Amino acid sequence: MRLRLLASMALTVLASIVSLGGVSLRAQSPAFTLDGDIALWTMAIRADKTQDFEQIMAKLREGLSKSATPVRRQQLVGWKVMRVKSPLPDGNVAYVHVINPVVAGADYKIMQILYDEFPDERQALYDLYRGAFVANLSLAPGTLTLDMKKAAAEGSASAGQ
């Protein structure tokens, strides 16, 4: 009886895998889009792996710049990455992605962009990124309420009249 139950359970699991066409049981994650016109996205990187992370960011820049997708080339224009000077209390290093302007509807998943643009390097890029990445610390998308540069330019123009 017990053997029959185990065999039945094994067949059920096998049938579910076959019915999925042998695909991974992991669900595809949705696009990582940002609301608003500006975003600050902070992540923690292992202190001894900052060069690896910066190498990934350089590869991201290359992928965005050479992409055949116009949206990706638009993302390149407004995406900057800043390394925070002081280490975090746990010794990791914070990097802030400053995205201005945000490209509406664009997918900002770093690894998806890299996979799409460099399909032959998937595993190496994943290993490098995964070894460096610790955690996403914060995401602050929003709407720009005041551009000081524009205010200064407007003030200069009205003073000259």
The verdict on residue 108 lying in a domain is: yes
Indicate whether 71 belongs to any domain.
yes
Bridge partners (DSSP) listed for residue 133 = 45
Q: How many structural domains comprise the chain?
A: 1
Domain of 122? 33-143
Assess if residue 124 is contained within a domain. Answer: yes
Q: What is the Cα–Cα distance from 59 to 132, expressed in whole angstroms?
A: 14
In a domain, 90, yes or no: yes
| pTM summary value | 0.76
Whole-number pLDDT of residue 106: 97
pLDDT-derived band of residue 150, with 50, 70 and 90 as boundaries?
confident
pLDDT at position 92 over 80: yes
* 18 lies in some domain: no
The CATH number of the domain where 42 resides is what? 3.30.70
Average pLDDT over the chain, rounded to an integer:
85
d(CA 138, CA 67): 28
Say what the pLDDT of residue 149 is: 86
Among 129, 50, 40, CA closest to 87: 50
Strand (E) or helix (H) holding 132: helix 122-132
Q: What is the tens place of the pLDDT at every residue in 109-123?
A: 999 999 999 999 999
- Residue 98: inside a domain: yes
Residue 1 lies in a domain: no
